[in-house]
Chain A
Amino acid sequence: MSVRMTGVPPTRCPECEGRLRPVGTELVCEECGLVTEGDVIDHGPEWRSFDRAERKRTGARLTRSRHDRGLSTRIGSGSRIRVTGRKRRQLARMCREQARARFETKADYNRMTGFTEIRRIVSQLSLPGAVREQACTLFESAQTEDLLVGRSLEGFAAAVVYATCRTRDIARTREEILEISRADGDELAAAYAALNRELGLPTGPIDPGVSSPVRLPARPRQRRRTPGRMVRTRPGRSRCPRRAEPERRRRGLSLRRRPPGRLRVDHPGDGCRRRRRLARDGPIDGRGDQSPRIRRCRR
C-alpha cells in the first residue's frame, strides 16, 4: 500500500523526517522503517513469469508484426565459417527452399504481404513502433473474421493503419496515408468501413485542435471529412461530426471524444446493416500472447 497521495516524490519520511532509501522496489525510511512508496507496477520488459531455474530465452522478442509472431528460423547467409564450392551451393539452395516454404497457406502469405505494407506505411509516416504492432494485430483480426475476402490487401493495410491512428488519437488524415499507400481512396474506404462495421473500433473524429500542433507541410493540405454518410442514432441533427460539436455543447453534453451512440458508416453497397459481431476482450497493446482489443458492441 502506498502512502503517497500526490504526484511529488517524497524526500523525507513524513513521520520522523528521516532519510529515505530505496530497498528493492520500495522507499524505506532509515530511522523508523516506514515504507513510503512501493511501486507495485513493474515497468520492465519482463512480463512473463519464470521459475528461476527455467528462465531461458532464445532469439528476438515475440512480435505480432511477423506472420508467425517471430517464431520462425531462417537459415542465415552470413556465417563466420567459410563454406566453399559444392557445400556453398547446397547451402544456398537450402536457404532458398526454406525461405519459400515458410508460408503454409495463402492466408499466411497474404498476412506477410499485409504486414510488409503496414510496416512500410508506418515507417514512411514516422509513426511510433507501437502503432505497427497494433495495426498488424488488427489486420490479423480482420483476416480471421474473413473481412479480407474480395477486398484489396493494400487497402486493408492502409485502413488498419488509419484505424490504429484514430484509436490512439494520433492525427493522420486519409490523404496522408493514401499518398504513401498503394491503395486508392475507394479501397481504403471499403476496408475501413468493413473494419468499423465488423470489429467495432473505439475511434472518434479527428480533432485537429487538440491532437496536432501547428505543422507546416510543404503543401498545405485540406482536411476532408470522411466519406460515406454518417448515420447517427438521433435523426434530425447535423450530419457533420465537427458541426455537431457546438450542438452537443449547446445541449449540455460534454465534449467527449466518443459520442454515446454508435457512429456507423453506411456502406453504400451493403443491403443490410449487420450487427456487429463479437469481439474478444483484453487490451490491445502489441504484446505477444494476449488477444487484440476489440471492444464489445455496447448495444
Chain B
Amino acid sequence: MDPGRLKENFAQVAMHGDAVALFFYSDLFLRHPELRQMFPVSMAGQRDHLVRAIAKIVSEVGHLDRLTPYLRELGRDHRKFGTLPAHYQPLRASLLATLAYFSGEGWTPELAADWEEAYGQVSQIMMEAAAADEMVNPPFWDATVISHEMRTLDTAVIRVAPRQRLTYLPGQSVAIESELRPRIWRFYSIANPPREDATLDFHVRMIDGGELSMALTRRLTVGARLRLGPPVGTLTLDTASGRDVLLVAGSTGLAPLKAIAMQTAELADAPDVHLFVGARRAEGLYDLPDLEKLGALAPRLTVTPSVSDDPGYWGERGSLPDVVTRSGSWAGRDAYLAGPTPMVEGMAAQLAAQGVPPQQIHVEDFGWSEP
C-alpha cells in the first residue's frame, strides 16, 4: 500500500464535497435497498459523519495502529445501529465505486488495491471489536419511561427503567433513540450514580428545532420505549486524587455533575464538594429542590445556584465563570465542568488563570449555546 498515493487520491475526491457521500449512499441503497431503513430520513448529518470518519482514517492511513482505539470504539458503537459483519462487504463495494467515479481518469488498479487493503484493515478492527463486545453487552439497552416531568417550559427530567442493567460510571453519557424518532440517536448524560433498581435519570433540554430533544421533552409519555447505547465519556470522578472537588454546571450540564456529586457523597472518605449550578433566570434552575435535599443529606456538599440574566434574583447573579471565580480560589481542587460551550470554555479559561493545572480541569462540552 502506498499511503501517499491514497491520501492524494482522497484529497482529490474530497474536493467534490457533499456529492461524494451522496453518491456513496445512493450507490449503496441502489445495490442494497434493504439497508436504507437502517438510516434516518434526512441523511445530511450522516453524510457529514461519513466523510469526517474517512478523512480521519485516511490522515493516519500509514499508521492505522494509532487509530485502533478509535476504530474499536466505532465498531462497538455501530452495534446499536444494527450493523453486522455482512454489511461491511456492500459498503466496501460502494466505497470503491464512489472513489472510482470521482477519480475519473486517475483511477488505477493500484489505487483500487490500496483502498481495498486499507478498507480491509479498518473493517477488520471494527468487526473484531464488535464481536468482542457482543460477548459482554447487548447491542443496545431497551428501556421504559417510568416518569416524565416538565420542570420548565423546555426542560424535562425523565426516569427510565432499562430491561437489562446498564453498567456505567457517574458522569458518563449514553446515546438515546426514541420510537418517536426512529434512527435518530443523541447523547445524554445520566444524572444519577448507579442505583439498586438500575433506573436512570436524564435531563433533557429542548433545543429549538432539535430532532430528538423536542420529542423527548414534549411528546414522551410514561410507558414509552427508548433504546440506550453503550455508556461513553470521560467526565468521571478521579477518586484517587484526594483533592476536593469543584463542579460547575450550566443548564442541563447539571446531569453528569449531579451524578458525580451524589457519587462523592457515598465515598468513604468524602471530599469537600462545591457545586455551582447556573441558569439564565431563576425558573431555569429546574432541579433546585432536589439539590437542596441532596445538600442536606451530604454534609460536605455545598450547592450554590446562580442566575445570569435576572436582575431581580435574590441569590448569586452573573455569569457562571464570574460567580465561581469571585466565590473563592479553586487552585487546589479537581474541577468538572459541563454545559453550553461558551460557559465551559469561559470557565476553563478562568480556572486556568486562577492557577488550576490543566490536568485538574475535566470538561464535557454539550455543544450548544443557550438562546
Q: Are A and B part of the same complex?
A: no
Which residues in A have some Cβ–Cβ distance to B below 8 Å?
none
Which residues in B have some Cβ–Cβ distance to A below 8 Å?
none
